Amino acid sequence: MIITETFEELLSECKKNKQSIYEQAQAEEAFVQDLAVDYLRDIVYRNICAMKECIQNGIKSKELSKSGLSGGDCKKLQAHFKNSPALFGKFFEKITVYALASAEENARMGKIVACPTAGSCGIVPAVLITMVEEENISKDIQINGLITAGKIGQVISNKVRLAGAAAGCQAECGVASGMAAGLLTYLRGGSNEKVVYAAILAIKNILGLTCDPVCGLVEVPCVKRNPFLAVHAVTASEMALAGIVSKIPPDEVVDVLARTGNLMSPVLKETSQGGLAKTKTGIELEKQLADKL
């Protein structure tokens, strides 16, 4: 069994075997984990159900996080859309609300699906569950889509550690946006090549995004980045479906993602020593939180 580690290898194997990315990915994972494919797909679906549960809990909750730095914005956004529908329509409303709901639920220490990380947990679920509801996506196609997204993240993780502490938020919310873009492109009937290019278009336009959490907590600005980058994923998917490609090949973009992470100052990689964390307000919030403890 060939285990593909780059996008070039992945697309080549899929072409040779005349199969979709999810088929190659689930065959690889079943082989590596020594699991039956059906059992593996059941695990994936349980994750999808957990995503739905997280979104619903987040939508309903009025609770703030323990720090008080986040929570309540999802309710504000829902109320706003009720009184003033979004310019981009219902899909935009759901995707932004769902991404916020999941990210706030994470800040409240609720159950989430890290995809690929906790700080980026709202992006892939928001895109997937919105499509499921708006387009009546079948269970099997949902599973195929999430496996596709997972393979995108896995390929990138062969060269980049998917953590803000290692490569900044480009490796968390940025990669999540790429995963969501690829997932969406698959769900809308895009070819394997378009799936990969959607992911890469999303990632190449978020290179260098810092990880600078205020008070060292995955709340500010992390929570609000989730809806922004969920919408970013949709833009990338639309462009890929139109036949737009990245002039820089996918694997070279991943190489740049890795190099950018290595070049980034440690003060901008989840240390809370720079960026938004060390603004005047960020420092004051840190003092206030310390006084509470």
The domains of the chain, with CATH numbers, are 19-292 (1.10.4100)
Euclidean distance between the first and final Cα of the chain, in Å? 53
Rounded CA separation 21/91 (Å): 26
135, pLDDT greater than 80:
yes
76-123 pLDDT, tens digit each: 999 999 999 999 999 999 999 999 999 999 999 999 999 999 999 999
List the alpha helices (DSSP H) in the chain. Answer: 7-17, 21-33, 37-60, 73-83, 90-107, 123-135, 139-157, 164-167, 173-187, 192-204, 222-241, 250-263, 280-292
233-289 pLDDT, tens digit each: 999 999 999 999 999 999 999 999 999 999 999 999 999 999 999 999 999 999 999
Tokens of 139: 């269970």
Q: What's the confidence (pLDDT) of residue 292? A: 84
167-190 pLDDT, tens digit each: 999 999 999 999 999 999 999 999
Question: Residue 108 contacts by C-beta under 8 Å, 6 or more apart in sequence?
Answer: 61, 63, 64, 65, 66, 71
Give me the count of residues in the chain: 293
Q: What's the confidence (pLDDT) of residue 293? A: 73
Mean of the per-residue pLDDT values of the chain = 97
Q: In the chain, pLDDT over 90 holds for what percent of residues?
A: 98
Written as one letter, the residue type at 138 is: S
220, pLDDT greater than 80:
yes
Instruction: Tell me the three state secondary structure of residue 34.
Output: coil
Q: Alpha-carbon dihedral of residues 2, 40, 101, 206, nearest 10 degrees?
A: 0
The conformation of residue 258, written as its DSSP 8-state character, comes to: H
Rounded CA separation 187/183 (Å): 6
Rounded CA separation 264/213 (Å): 15
